[in-house]
Amino acid sequence: MDPAVERFIERMGLEAEADGLPRISGRILAFLITAEAPASLDGIAEALRVSRASVSTNCRLLEEIGAAGRVSLPGDRKDYYELAPGFPERFFASTRKRTRSKVKLAEEALARLPEGEATARGRMRLWRDFHAFILDELDGVEGRWRILAADRDALTPPSNSR
């Protein structure tokens, strides 16, 4: 493996940890970003020198958050993984779903908390309002991303035209 790619993979592992994810998730994501083609669980495990079970678990996690996509290859029964096509949109959808869940949880808690719990109710409203704000802002961020991505795609020649 190229030393620059290896360094990127290791640094992405540390970034994932800083974000509260397992280090191996970040390493797998970096591997998928740099891979020329979809990779099998065995191939990823071998390249990263980790267990296949760990790769399987973390590929599912990356799938859940919209970063990785599972694909099949003709005539092959194995699952392969790649950077999710349209991963920014999938990431937005995943973030929206998790954030909506936090708003709902806070609203349910507020409905059940006794009125006398002023401190807890105030903190719960803050939690709810913060996540509701993020949810509202996410639409604008996603819209601006789509415009930027469309402009970038319009300027980028297809990879098969050389």
What are the DSSP calls for 47-113, one per residue?
Answer: HHTS-HHHHHHHHHHHHHTTSEEEE--TT--S-EEEEPTTHHHHHHHHHHHHHHHHHHHHHHHHHHS
Single pTM value for the model? 0.72
pLDDT at 160: 45
Residues 110 and 77 in one domain: no
Residues 110 and 54 in one domain: no
pLDDT at 5: 95
Residue ranges making up the domain that contains 91: 87-155
pLDDT at 156: 58
Residues 78 and 11 in one domain: yes
pLDDT at 26: 96
Report how many domains make up the chain: 2
Residues 26 and 75 in one domain: yes
Distances, alpha carbon 49 to alpha carbons 6, 12, 53, 55, 131, in Å? 12, 16, 12, 10, 39
pLDDT at 85: 83
Q: Determine which helix (DSSP H) or strand (DSSP E) holds 159, and give its type and residue range.
A: none
Q: Which token pair is 118?
A: 């002023």
Residues 70 and 106 in one domain: no
Residue 160 lies inside a defined structural domain of this protein: no
The list of the chain residues with pLDDT below 50 reads 160-162
pLDDT at 157: 55
Residues 10 and 78 in one domain: yes
Residues 55 and 11 in one domain: yes
Residues 25 and 92 in one domain: no
